[in-house]
Amino acid sequence: MKTIINCETGEVTVRELNKAEKDQQKIDEAEIAAADAALKTEAKTKATAKAALLSKLGITEEEAVLLLS
């Protein structure tokens, strides 16, 4: 469903999406899903690197925070 609001008249129109709009919606949803997956992968990679560094240094995250404060 698509809601169109004419700000000048206040008229509100609700209609089904046409084929082009449905196709674009599918593309947009796929792009959002891909971006979300990339962000999650990046966060996991950073967390793994952080854990590896802390392990290599032999300190906890709390100790690292104290050192950097």
| pLDDT attached to residue 17 | 96
| pLDDT attached to residue 48 | 97
**pTM recorded for the entire structure:** 0.63
How far lies 12's CA from each of 6, 8, 44, in Å?
6, 11, 45
Position 54 confidence tier, pLDDT thresholds 50, 70, 90:
very high
Position 62 confidence tier, pLDDT thresholds 50, 70, 90:
very high
Average pLDDT, the chain: 96
For residues 21 and 2, the answer to whether their CB atoms sit within 8 Å is yes
Beta-bridge partners for 3: 14
Q: Which residue has the tokens 């690197």?
A: 49
